[in-house]
A = this chain, B = another copy of it.
Amino acid sequence: MKLTVKLLDIANRGVLLHSTDARSMRVRDGDRVQVADEATGKTAQAHVDTTGSLIEPGVIGVYRPLNATLAVDEGTVVIVRSAERPASLRHIKKKMDGGRFTKDETVDIVRDIVDDILSPGEITAYVTASYINGLDMDEVEYLTRATVETGERLHFTRHPIVDKHSIGGVPGNKITLLIAPIIAASGLLIPKTSSRAITGAGGTADLMEVLAPVSFTATEVQQMTEKVGGVIVWGGATNIAPADDKIITYEYPLRIDARGQMIASVMAKKFAVGADLVVIDIPVGRNTKIPDPQEGRKLAREFIEIGERLGMRVECALSYGESLVGHTIGPNLEVREALAVLEGATEPSSLVQKSLSLSGIALEMAGKAAQGQGYQAAADLLRSGKALDKMRQIIEIQGGDPTVKAEDIVPGEYRFDVRAPQDGYVIELNNSALVTLARLAGSPYDHGAGLDIHAKKGTRVKKGDPIFTIYAEREWRLERAIEVGRTLMPVVVEGMVLERIPHDRWV
């Protein structure tokens, strides 16, 4: 059926059809249509909304994301027809029935995800079936490769390229702000793409945005890395591994964290930036994604195997994940804490030790330090100020102010101290409750919102001592956080230490 285009600024991959046109095309709400522009030869698929009055019969409302593919002008006549059922749906059904994906089937599915041919429901079915029935190492490899191939890639002429990834689950994990400049200061290249917060109070991209813009194309990422040795950017802006962003979108509402998909997600991003050497941080402990070290080691072996299959050398570090890294949660507070370490602060030791340990592994892998000497080499780069200089170059090339100092970065003006109700030890500091408070206070959107934790687990406190401070940029958000904080009870102070686990148990 020939229909005339009306462009509609709706941020959703769909088209709007008049219900009479939909009826004669035999399509219903949610069905898939193919839209073709004969003049340009471009075609795209989209899902149908219908209306009885917003547009006339003979007109098709084209929403914004569809027109990113189709690039038609208002008034163009396009050919619209009911789209065929994509083969990828058969593959997904096969997984539901306990089958294994082949390489080609994986490519079909990933391509249809990237091209928005699969609906949200269909992508969810894929994610759910993969989660329940699992993916074996072959399937994870196929998914990794397909995710790389459906996006952009970086091609460096200088090697080795270093990358790191933390699988998440521990708050305040600002270590990339130290590791990237340390690695780049050693002369290695580290084109670090990071995510924004999904469930957390600040992803690395949210933190870096305090210091400089983080949205760049893949080409820009490569050029900047070649110039200064490293960047810290938002992966979501690059079109590197775009399938992964979509898969995560549909995992999130159901809190699905499918092992195979997670490995493919991480490794695809590393492979796409051309990484040769990869360090993966696996926080382990109660309330993290990996409750026990046994499981962490299994995951590590899987990362290493997929790395081998793709020609990347991978090392993993199980890290202590039961307590936050450093003392702060929220963009400005975390950035201030990390910058202070670059500027010479030797505390907080959890942050310094973890960053140096992971940097050290990478330096050893790259031959920049002898076996067992990586930590010290990283410490030298930090203490000499070379890492700080490098960080300033990274900030500058991304368009930020390279003269920025830790003291310039201040938290929100509204603050509230949570104090110890009695003498004793902090025996419980609930990470997820702390993250919830930080988010209620406005983090990560309000950069100044967050928490400063003065007494971590195991610390002795006296009645009335501040245990942590909540910061906010807006008073009502602070009040909301305080109010909810009273019911969440993120901190428990008891008269004696029941259990104490030192930070360096894992690092």
Contacts and interface: CB of A to CB of B under 8 A. Distances in A.
A256 B97 CA distance: 10
B11 A121 contact: no
Query: Counting chain B CB atoms within 10 Å of each CB, which of A26, A125, A131 scores highest?
Result: A125
Interface in A100-153: 119-125, 127-129, 131-133
A29 to B, nearest CB: 5
Kindly list the 9 A-B residue pairs having the minimum CB-CB distance in the complex, ordered from nearest. A121-B124, A120-B121, A128-B128, A9-B53, A11-B50, A12-B49, A124-B124, A125-B128, A9-B51
Contacts of A346: none
30 contacts: A8-B54, A9-B51, A9-B53, A9-B54, A10-B49, A10-B50, A11-B19, A11-B51, A12-B30, A23-B445, A26-B445, A30-B249, A89-B255, A96-B131, A120-B120, A120-B121, A121-B124, A121-B250, A121-B253, A122-B124, A122-B253, A122-B254, A124-B125, A125-B125, A125-B127, A128-B128, A128-B129, A128-B132, A129-B132, A132-B133
A202 B129 CA distance: 31
Nearest to A51: B9
Contacts of A121: 120-121, 123-124, 250, 253
Nearest to A120: B121
A119 B253 contact: yes
Nearest to A97: B132
A26 B199 CA distance: 12
Contact of A10 (B51, B96, B123, B127): B51
A56 to B, nearest CB: 12
B19 A49 contact: no
Contacts of A49: 10-12
A108 to B, nearest CB: 15
Nearest to A442: B26
A383 to B, nearest CB: 40
Interface in A65-95: 85, 89, 92-93
A170 to B, nearest CB: 22
Contacts of A255: 89, 93
B124 A52 contact: no
A486 to B, nearest CB: 18
A93 B19 CA distance: 36
A458 to B, nearest CB: 31
Given A11-B49, A30-B120, A89-B253, 8 more contacts: A8-B54, A10-B54, A12-B29, A26-B445, A121-B253, A122-B124, A122-B253, A128-B132
Query: Counting chain B CB atoms within 10 Å of each CB, which of A12, A123, A445 scores highest?
Result: A12
A214 to B, nearest CB: 17
Contacts of A8: 54
A406 B348 CA distance: 88
B93 A256 contact: yes
A362 to B, nearest CB: 34
